Structures are given as C-alpha cells and as structure tokens.
Chain A
Amino acid sequence: MLRVSLYRYNPEVDDEPYMQDIEFDTGGKDLMVLDVLEMIKGDDPSLAFRRSCREGVCGSDGLNINGKNGLACITPLSEVVKKGALVVRPLPGLPVVRDLVVDMTLFYQQYEKVQPYLINNTPPPAIERLQSPEEREKLDGLYECILCACCSTSCPSFWWNPDRFIGPAGLLQAYRFLADSRDTATDERLARLDDPFSVFRCHGIQNCVAVCPKGLNPTRAIGHIRNMLLQRAT
C-alpha cells in the first residue's frame, strides 16, 4: 500500500489549501507518478492537474514530487517513494490556480523577455541560413528544453524575484540564441541582460541542474552569458 498525500485547493470552495491523504494500491507494480494521479482522478474527478503526452516531451506535468521537482509521467515510484509515502504538490513559487495546476504567467513573461526567436535582418538566402556542423553543435544541450518550469520553480532566486530574475529556463534560452551563429542581435541581447537582476540574481545554487528532467545545465549557460557580458564590457 502506498500512502499518497495530495495538495488540494479549489478556490471556489476551500478557504485554504490542504493535504488529502489517500491509501493507494499499486498492485505491486512500479508505476509512474502520473499513473497514480490518473487512477486517483478516476475515483475522484475533481482532482486537477495538467498532462498531455505522458512521455516527458510536452512538459505539462511538472510537479513537486516528494520535495523535488520533476515530470510525473517519467518519474517512477521506485525513484521517489521513501517509507511508502508519496507527497505531490504543485510547482513551488507560482500562484496555484487549482490543486496541482499553477499559473505560469510569470514564467512565460520571463521567457518572452529573452526574445526566444532568431533575429537576423540581413536578406535571407534563397533556401536557408546554413550552419557548419561545429556551429550547430553549440546548440546541443540548449535547444532540448521543453519549458516544463521544473528548474525555475526550484530556484530560490526565482522564488524571491520571479518578476525581475529571468530564471534558469529563460536564461538557457537566452544563451541558445546568443550561441546561434545565424543570430545577429548578440549585442542588443547582451545589453538587455546587463542589470543587477536579469542574470546576476543567479548565485550558482544549481537546483536547476539537479531537477532538469532533460538533463540540461542552465547554470553552465548562465556562466557563458556572464563571460560574454564580461568580454563585451572589459
């Protein structure tokens, strides 16, 4: 038997959030956390959480599972359950819409700030802008991000300043475009980042690295941005 504890909050009826305890029979199987949630929802359709692809590609079901952020669909019980208990809460630091669903507006606003698209106003070539294999290689470890928000919502600096610190996810994408040989706005991009909050609230805590379900390293990307700023200014 698995003791499941779920964060519940329905602002229309509850005065405040509470933890709901449920005894759950796994049937001896090593289920994914998402499977458990789905089965519980089968009995209690009022439980709200996001999900879509159920295989770690869409990034919708980022949750705080036994204290650590991760994607419920690719987190097996055997990896997280300790002493027969599973505690599931919404991603920390963002406003809760209902139960395990958070309002991601702040997260997306930071993403928007880094202008996550190629900027190149030179006349486009007939077919496409080419890159050498070496130039393309620089984007590895950056383009794979699925914007699940597990990293940014595990970062204390993002908890305190989600409106001013871009956060690991946004900064990883900032570097993805700074590193792209086809982008010509490097200087403008860097100029927009050189304030005391956007990049420099990162104190190298590295929670982002510890939780990223895609194995990406936002701290390293932030270090690259810092070096680019340093080169440009000294």
Chain B
Amino acid sequence: MVTSVTSLGRSGLYDWLLQRVSAVVLLAWFVCIGGTILGAPELTFVYWKSVFSGTAMRIFTLLALVSLFAHAWVGMWSVVTDYLTERMMGPRAVVLRLTVQVVCVIVLFSYVVWGVQILWGN
C-alpha cells in the first residue's frame, strides 16, 4: 500500500472511478453544447444567454465545471507524480511538485468560481 495525501480521493479506485464518471459528464456536456451551436438559427448573444438561463442547463454546466475540476486534478496529479519526482530530479522535486499541484488547484478552483459567476451573473 502506497499512501499519498495529495491525490484527490486518497484511494486509487476512487480517483479512477471519478475520472471515468467525470469524463462521461464532460463528453455529454460537449455533445449538448455542440448540438446547441449547430442547431442555433443564428448564434447571437441573446440566443446564447437564453440557452444558459434555464435552471437545467445551469445545473448541467456547473456539473461539467465540477467534473472538469475533478478530471483535471486527477490527471494533473498523475502527470506530476510521474515526472516531477525525486527519482527523476533529486530532492528539490518535492518543492516543485507541491508548487505545481497548488497552482493547478488554484487555477481549477478559479475556473469553477468564475464559471458560477458567469452562469448566475447578469
């Protein structure tokens, strides 16, 4: 058993499952948005705003944003723990690895908050 405190769910299975489920949500969301764009009579601001004014679409979009957070975090965490390791670059790796992890979380968290602002803003 290899322990880790920085992975999203601390369990390999949990992270794995979350990444699969979030991938399905993201795929569904992009298909939905693609359909909306292709099916639009004319792509205007008014039309775009009306699409996102429905509660269902807002919930779906927020779900997609949260899925993006989880999906990207699990993915980036894997990349970082593959390449930015003591084995690859010596003892300074831990500083770099933690820094990149924190930056990733801040960026992803900002996306979610920013997305909420856009969805529920005027």
CB within 8 A of A200: which of B3, B12, B82, B87? B12
Q: Does A197 contact B (CB under 8 A)?
A: yes
Give the distance to chain B from A201, nearest Cβ to Cβ, in Å: 8
C-alpha gap A193/B11 in the complex (Å): 10
Which of B13-21, B22-30, B36-44, B102-110 is near enough to bind chain A?
B13-21
- Among B13, B15, B77, B82, the residue within 8 A (CB) of A157 is B82
Given A200-B15, A226-B16, A195–B83 Cβ distance below 8 Å?
A: no
Query: Is A197 a contact partner of B13 (Cβ separation < 8 A)?
Result: no
Q: Find residues 184-229 in chain A having any chain B CB closer than 8 Å to their own CB.
A: 191-201, 203, 226, 229
The answer to whether the Cβ of B4 comes within 8 Å of any Cβ in the partner chain is yes
Contact size range, B: 20 to 34
Is residue B101 contacting chain A, with contact meaning CB distance below 8 A? no
Contact B85 A161 (CB under 8 A): yes
Is B11's CB under 8 angstroms from A197's CB?
no
Chain B, 74-92, CB within 8 A of any chain A CB: 77-78, 81-83, 85, 87-88
Report yes or no: A233 in contact with B82, Cβ–Cβ below 8 A.
no
Q: Say yes or no: is B56 at the interface (Cβ < 8 Å to chain A).
A: no
Asked whether, in the complex, the Cβ of B2 is within 8 Å of the Cβ of A195, the reply is yes
**Contact assessment for B1 and A195 in the assembled complex, using a CB-CB cutoff below 8 Å:** yes
* Min CB–CB distance B107 → chain A (angstroms): 21
Residues in chain A near residue B83, CB distance under 8 A = 160
Chain A residues lying within 8 Å of B10, measured Cβ to Cβ, are 196
A162 proximity list for chain B (CB < 8 A): 87
14 contacts between A and B (CB under 8 A): A163-B87, A193-B12, A194-B13, A195-B11, A196-B4, A196-B10, A196-B15, A198-B1, A200-B13, A200-B15, A200-B16, A203-B78, A230-B17, A234-B17
Enumerate the 5 nearest inter-chain pairs by beta-carbon distance, A residue then B residue, closest first: A200-B12, A197-B2, A160-B82, A196-B12, A196-B7
